[in-house]
Structure 1
Amino acid sequence: MSVSESARSWIGSIVFFAYYAVSTILFGALAPLATLLLPKNARQPVLNLHNKGLLCAFRLLCGVKVEIIGRENIDKNRPVVLVANHQSEWETYVLQVLMAPVSTVLKKELLAVPFFGWGLRMVKPIAIDRSQRTNALKQIISQGKERLEDGRSVLIFPEGTRIAPNEEQPFNKGAAMLATSANVPILPVVHNAGYTWPGRRWRKFPGSIRVVIGSIIESEGKRTSVLHEEMDAWMRSEMAKLPKGNSSLD
């Protein structure tokens, strides 16, 4: 990255951070009132105004291109267990927009974050205590089935935490267990957003993000282990094909 490109990266990151902070505070402050006044089916679209604004600002201010492959595999009339690799915050926003309505499995501490956590509560997340693994899994299954029966997809990051690009973490079986228990399919997604929006860092980088949405993986008649292996094999294979670094999609 040249000196001028580095300067633009810093400036874009600073401006985006300011926008991110102001937008999150405003929407978070309004979230409790919106939750109280809006019907359930209107809450996600309202929150997604915030999400879409962040995604747009990120692209424009930080010089990022986005390519999404496999949109035709999304059926919003059929709730699914949505699984994706976890590299940054970016995918949590874009998947909320692409798959609405969706409830995300997340660590309960996030709900206590002022403004940010208030907004999260609008879309019925499944907030777990990761230190209590057995209870957390039971919670994912029970609350996940409730969300799916209510017509909401459930988003699970099977790595359990954010993983830097080019690093690997075993996928847990929670998604496959929920899918077989609720008799709903898995929709797998992979991306390389960690190169432009690194996890746990406020600075963003210009470049490109590729998202690949796979075909539905049916759960009916399958054992959890078999379904998990299908999901794991597809995701590992497609992750290996993703561009490395901030190479342009042009």
Structure 2
Amino acid sequence: MELWPWLTAALLGLLLLLRLHRGANFCARIALYCALCLAVSALASLVCLLRHGGRTVENMSIISWFVRGFKYVYGIRFEVRGRPKLEVDQPCVIISNHQSILDMMGLMEVLPRRCVQVAKRELLFLGPVGLVMYLGGVFFINRQRSSTAVSVMADLSERMVRENLKVWIYPEGTRNTNGDLLPFKKGAFYLAIQAQVPIIPVVYSSFSSFYDISTKLFTSGTIRVEVLDAVPTSGLTVADVPKLLDTCHQAMRTTFLHISKTPQGNGAAEGSGAQAAQ
């Protein structure tokens, strides 16, 4: 019995289902994204090991090159304003809003040289994804043990100045799709003040027009990225953390609502960035 007609019909049926059924299309795109992350992480890890032999911030340029290709698969466009502000030749803390698993694409699109990220320790155990993050110099924090997190941040403060590193942190601490910014945690601001380095806020527009997990929407779209002016911390002390946090939160929230064309409402971050312990 000839199987090709049946296989062809099944494949056409599957393609039709993915086109017509939003939920199936969403799941397929997410599955492809996860598969790409695993495959690209494995390949990038091999290249990093062959090129630099181990863990170094220089591997981030290799990782970034691989991940930037994702946008062509998903039809995602980036409109970036203020990119040169990230290319300063000095250590700094970069903070940005955190919306979904797609943030990795946005991060790698504008990632400056000698920039590492701070991530939760659980990501270290995600097979090739954890390996490539480790090789790229990512700093992992155990959020369940505050003493360990404080120790890592203290070590990072010294290293970023000594090695001229930029450090990228998501101050919301978790993904957020509520159409506003969550209150910021204090860790990034303590780090910047301890190292006496500027903070550079980066704001990504809302993904909701093309990506929404609650409605299973996942299509192509455009992400607007705005790099704000650096906020100096020279001369500031720990006592200035609340004011510094609030200044950055207000500037980022105003920009987020503007570039997302989202009306101001009673979001979780209305008014100011309520301070939570890192």
Normalising by structure 2, we get a TM-score of 0.73
CA separation of 1:21 and 1:139: change in aligned 2, threshold 3 A: closer
More deviation in 176-185 or 36-45? 36-45
Q: Which residue of 2 aligns with 1:118?
A: 131
What letter corresponds to residue 130 of structure 1 in structure 2?
R
What letter corresponds to residue 106 of structure 1 in structure 2?
A
Structure 1 residue 74, shift from structure 2 partner: 1.9
Query: What is the identity percentage for the equivalent residue pairs of Structure 1 and Structure 2?
Result: 24
Q: Which runs of 5+ in 1 are unaligned?
A: 246-250
Deviations 1:45-71 (A, max 9, x none): 2222222222xxx2x332322111111
For residue 229 of structure 2, the aligned residue among 215, 219, 227 is: 215
Structure 1 residue 123, shift from structure 2 partner: 1.8
C-alpha contact 2:55 2:134 (8 A) present in aligned 1: no
CA separation of 1:50 and 1:197: change in aligned 2, threshold 3 A: farther
C-alpha contact 2:52 2:59 (8 A) present in aligned 1: no
C-alpha contact 1:27 1:115 (8 A) present in aligned 2: no
Q: Which residue of 2 aligns with 1:45?
A: 61
Q: Which residue of 2 aligns with 1:95?
A: 107
Aligned equivalents of 1:238, 1:88: Cα separation in 2: 19
Deviations 1:152-207 (A, max 9, x none): 11111111111114144210111111111101000001113533455799973222
What letter corresponds to residue 246 of structure 2 in structure 1?
E
Structure 1 residue 149, shift from structure 2 partner: 2.4
Across the aligned residues of Structure 1 and Structure 2, the Cα RMSD in angstroms comes to: 3.1
C-alpha contact 1:88 1:193 (8 A) present in aligned 2: no
Deviations 1:101-145 (A, max 9, x none): 211111111011111111001121110111123431342232243
Q: Which residue of 1 aligns with 2:150?
A: 137
- What are the residue-to-residue correspondences of 1:1-250 with 2, within 5 Å? 7=19, 10=25, 13=29, 16-17=32-33, 18-28=35-45, 30=46, 33-34=49-50, 37=53, 40=56, 42-54=58-70, 58=71, 60-98=72-110, 99-192=112-205, 194-195=207-208, 196-197=210-211, 204-222=218-236, 223-243=240-260
Structure having the higher Rg? 2
CA separation of 1:123 and 1:240: change in aligned 2, threshold 3 A: same
Aligned equivalents of 1:147, 1:78: Cα separation in 2: 9
C-alpha contact 2:37 2:129 (8 A) present in aligned 1: no
What letter corresponds to residue 64 of structure 1 in structure 2?
I
C-alpha contact 2:98 2:174 (8 A) present in aligned 1: yes
SS at match of 1:194: coil
What letter corresponds to residue 115 of structure 1 in structure 2?
P
Aligned equivalents of 2:136, 2:75: Cα separation in 1: 29
Structure 1 residue 35, shift from structure 2 partner: 7.4
Normalising by structure 1, we get a TM-score of 0.80
CA separation of 1:109 and 1:230: change in aligned 2, threshold 3 A: same
SS at match of 1:74: helix
Aligned equivalents of 1:201, 1:131: Cα separation in 2: 32
Structure 1 residue 100, shift from structure 2 partner: 2.6
